[in-house]
Chains A and B, each alone.
Chain A
Amino acid sequence: MQPLVKITALTKQFGHLTAVDHLSFSVEPASVYGFLGQNGAGKSTTIRMLTGLIMPSSGEIEIFGLSLAKHKKEILKQIGAVIEKPDVYQYLSAYDNLQLFARLSGIRPTRVSLMDQLAQVGLADRAKDKVAGFSQGMKQRLGIAIALVHQPQLIILDEPTNGLDPQGIADIRHLIIHLRTELKKTVIVSSHLLSEIEQVATQLLIIHKGKKVKEGNASELFDPAQTVVQLSTEQNETAWAVLQASSWQPYLQRITPEGIILKVDRRQIPALHQSLVHLQIPLISLQPRHSLEDYFLQVTTPGYVDTLSN
């Protein structure tokens, strides 16, 4: 299958700073492409280049099989985007904003279709209210309505959960899943939090300092056989010795001041817990996490202590 988005050696320099450095990746149709990286990793710059806001210094962007540099207008017709904060005209109502951006997207929607769109994001009853009085969550929902009003094939959401409450975050998550599974849309979503993306992304890309760190299918990256477990006990040294002598010896990774690190299959965790009780190791905590998370934190957090002992 031809990728919907194909990025080749994309580079952006701001003076001496290289914000994006020879980045290449591709996005399959009807997938959710998670774009992970710390603040300042180059996510936003990449996304802005994808939407034509920033001109690449070098490299190629192909969307729908067309070069963005040459066919910007045709490509943007099929893209809906919320970049950073969903800023709209404060002095206009939700309805007026939606109508204005719909017209700019090249469609002339009816009143019914606009109200329908607002209803889908739960803003129908606030349609005539000025956006100035809206909460962050309402603005975000309006931003999404604007991104979707012209029924684009590709939806780009840059940090869509910023500033949202837990309910808002959950709403966005459901929306993304709905877009992919029900409407067969392709979604590119960026975040600096893995926890937000891991539940929705079918593909993941981690970038750091403008460079690709890791890319892959979510099921591969979240391989349950690669689950890392951190044990914390009353006496870690004693526990380490006891485990060395047990059947868990092959899974032991290393001992850190915080605890003992093991790499096991997720399904083995209950058995591990039983063994610990059986071996009379006084357990304080047992934290499973998949390798990606540590990996992500390791590459993206300055001064992060590597708890993995690869």
Chain B
Amino acid sequence: MKKISLICLSCMLVAGIQAQDMTPLVQKVRAKIEQVKDYVAVGTMKTDVSFIKAPIGKVKVYFKKPDLFSIKKEGGISLLPKGGVSINMSSLMATTSFVALSAGEAVVDGIKTRVVKLLPMNENSEVILTTLYIQEATLLVLKAVTSTRENGTYEMTMQYGAYQQYGLPDKVIFSFNTKDYKLPKGITLEFEEDTKPLTEAEKIKNRKGRVEINYSSYTINQGLTDAVFKK
């Protein structure tokens, strides 16, 4: 009985200590990510917002340390959640001044993960809170939920494949809140009531937008000038 109580206590203690500081885990994840100084990735992007009808488009994604990030469509028009896409794994962790707290464990896509709350120390930071779901064995972030001051809450889900040793995902899904969209018919010069037919799935996730990027290849650490990030 005493033995059992001791084990329990030590478990609680361990948990308690971990709850107070997950910085070492985050640092490890960060170290893995920081192997990549820059990359150019090729992939496809799908915008899934209830009031947007857009086809899948080819994109090129550019990244350079510490926080230069850009999604470019070759000559096309891209629709992205406001301010959302510039938030990527690297930029989330670019800042060193944060408090990392454990918030238990969770299962993401059938994989057990450690939930870490990341609180920026800087009070003026755009990001208020980030919750990371980290697979401890591989040091990969499977999910990140970020609350911002201006642009609401974003959710990123990542799936890894060929580039997981660099911490680079094969697939990223951004979820974000959207506002209602409606234009008077007088402006669009339409006569007929023309609401876009909603699928059942859309009705459920109404007002929730998604941007899905599927990366097919990365070119890593080949050197990038800052010029490519200028608009």
Q: Verify whether A and B have any Cβ pair under 8 Å.
A: no
